[in-house]
Amino acid sequence: MLQPGVPISDDPISRDILLQAAVAASHAAGALLLKYAEAGFRIEYKNPVNLVTDADRAAEQCVIDCIQAHFPTHRFLAEERGRLEETPSPYLWIIDPLDGTTNFAHGYPTYCVSIGLEYEGRCVLGVIFDPSRGELFTAVEQRGAQLNGRPIHVSNARTLDSSLLVTGFAYDIRETPHNNLDHFVRFALKAQGLRRTGSAALDLCYVAAGRFDGFWEVRLNPWDMAAGSVIVREAGGRLTDFGGKDLSIYGRELVASNGQIHNAMLAVLNQKTP
Ligand code: IPD
Ligand code: CA
Ligand code: CA
């Protein structure tokens, strides 16, 4: 059992203990985000469409503090602080303290805390907490995926015609021709419906829960994908790049689906513009 603030030294550490620590950290950071949402926050602009708030930074510190209290030797890769001091630990926590910052800044309640864990380079655990809805998505390698403790599974849609798809756009949308608008237009004409929620981590959870049938995006970062990729995989979904190779969270292309529509999605993504 995990005792508050007590360091754990065993290695390998039980997955239950790691999960408990990640869940506690996600709840603490989620509560902090709700507090900032109510009390107000400061916004800084990385560019006109890419912003960061003091809530992002506070939530990140909160997650790191919670996890470090138990695992002081573990490594961290966090969106706002980057890589923390390197130790030889096989554990790497990959954190997006606030996925959906633009939504958060506008009071649009679709954002989350995302905490993934790599062990020896493989993503083995994912926790994503949506504090506005009180939805906690969790997965541990080979143990399935859960929403608030109940098993979840990807959908059964077999065709794009019957699929609800989701995507997102990177912050350099104005600077690059590889801005995903071409794919967006094609899928808009093929899918039953298309959404852009503004939180890649929740998009992955919704594929895992069967709410979306497929999700694709370009130029995501490891912290957008780490936790969600475990959750989709454990919910029975498939994750690749646009070429159909197994997903690397350090790559820049992601396709996540229920498996059944995956090849149809790849075909659209690889269609040559006439
Ligand atoms: C962003 C969101 C968004 C996606 C962007 C991400 P942030 O993360 O996940 O849905 O389209 O590519 O950068 O900045 O809100 O953590
Ligand atoms: Ca993000
Ligand atoms: Ca973020």
**Together in a domain, 55 and 103:** yes
What's the CATH number where 214 sits? 3.40.190.80
**Together in a domain, 140 and 250:** no
Q: How many separate domains does the chain show?
A: 2
Whether 6 maps to a domain, the answer reads no
Which of 91, 90, 97 is CA-nearest to residue 131? 97
Ligand 1 centre distance from Cα of residue 220 (Å):
7
Measured from the CB, is residue 97 less than 6 Å from ligand 1? no
Domain termination site, one of 131, 151, 171: 151
**Together in a domain, 207 and 260:** yes
Apex CA 188: angle with CA 186 and CA 193, to 5°?
145
**Together in a domain, 98 and 174:** no
Domain termination site, one of 151, 176, 203: 151
Contact (CB, 8 A) for 73 and 93: no
**Best mutation site among 99, 115, 166 for ligand 1, i.e. most ligand atoms within 8 A of its Cβ?**
99
Whether 131 maps to a domain, the answer reads yes
Distance between CA atoms of residues 142 and 230, nearest Å: 10
Residue identifier of the C-alpha nearest atom 16 of ligand 1: 99
Ligand 2 centre distance from Cα of residue 10 (Å):
32
The predicted model scores a pTM of 0.96
Domain termination site, one of 151, 183, 210: 151
**Local confidence pLDDT in tens for the 274 residues of the chain:** 677 777 876 678 899 999 999 999 999 999 999 999 999 999 999 888 889 999 999 999 999 999 999 999 999 999 999 888 778 899 999 999 999 999 999 999 999 999 999 999 999 999 999 999 999 999 999 999 999 999 999 999 999 999 999 999 988 888 888 899 999 999 999 999 999 999 999 999 999 999 999 999 999 999 999 999 999 999 999 999 999 999 999 998 999 999 999 999 999 999 986 5
Whether 1 maps to a domain, the answer reads no
For residue 110, what are the domain limits?
Answer: 15-151
